[in-house]
Amino acid sequence: MLTHARILLKANQSDGGPGWTDSAIARAVDVHPGTVSRVRRSYVADGLDVALTRKAPNRVYPRRLDVAARSIVMSPCLVSGIPKQTRPAWP
């Protein structure tokens, strides 16, 4: 959100605005020029709120470990009765 706001502030072409080019904004904000172009286009087409918020990811990542597997992996970390020196070391 902050990066998009910085892009729009530097792209402001009104009387008092800096009116920078896409490549100058990209260098100043450290993003790809395509990002600057997309933020500008989003602002013109959809408005400020849409241009400032990032699109939510549309893919779902499956869990790699189920609850039982996670408990097996985490069990050495949760052992409280064994002194630290005798706990099994990580490989």
Q: Is residue 58 part of a domain?
A: no
Q: Extract the tokens encoding 18.
A: 């800096």
Query: By residue range, what is the domain housing residue 27?
Result: 2-10+22-52
What is the pLDDT averaged over residues 23-41? 95
Q: Is residue 86 part of a domain?
A: no
Considering the entire predicted model, what is its pTM? 0.60
Q: Is residue 80 part of a domain?
A: no
Report pLDDT digits (tens) over 44-84.
999 999 999 888 888 888 878 788 887 777 766 565 555 56
Q: Is the pLDDT of residue 17 over 70?
A: yes
Give the burial string for 6-33 (b: 16+ CB within 10 Å, else e): bbbebbeeeeeeeebebeebbeebebee
Residue 84 has a pLDDT of 60
Does residue 12 contact residue 47 with C-beta atoms inside 8 Å?
no
Q: Report how many domains make up the chain.
A: 1
Of 79, 73, 78, nearest in space to 91 by CA: 73
**CA atoms of 78 and 27, how far apart (whole Å):** 47
